[in-house]
Amino acid sequence: MIIQFNGLTETIPEGLNISELIKFFGEGDPHVIVEQNGRYIYPKNYDTCKVMENDRIEFINPNLGG
């Protein structure tokens, strides 16, 4: 199915949750922030939160330097 990932159109397998999506895209930052359709997703919900067709997903790598 098609989603918008970090602003680009991507094809992913159906039925993935957020944890599986992180693995699918090979995201290596354990502290990545996940946004689904503009909303922050708490890490405790990664396993239960399903990715749906046409979702807008952003992986945001935190910056904490000053």
Taking CB under 8 A as the criterion, which residues in 21-40 touch other proteins? 29-31, 33, 35, 38-40
* Residue 63 sits in the site that holds other proteins (CB under 8 A): yes
The Cα 1–Cα 63 span in angstroms is 31
- Which of 7, 9, 48, 53 touches other proteins (CB under 8 A)? 7
The Cα 8–Cα 2 span in angstroms is 10
- 26 — phi, psi (to 5°)? 65, 30
Contacts with other proteins, residue ranges (CB under 8 A) = 6-7, 29-31, 33, 35, 38-40, 42-44, 58, 60-66
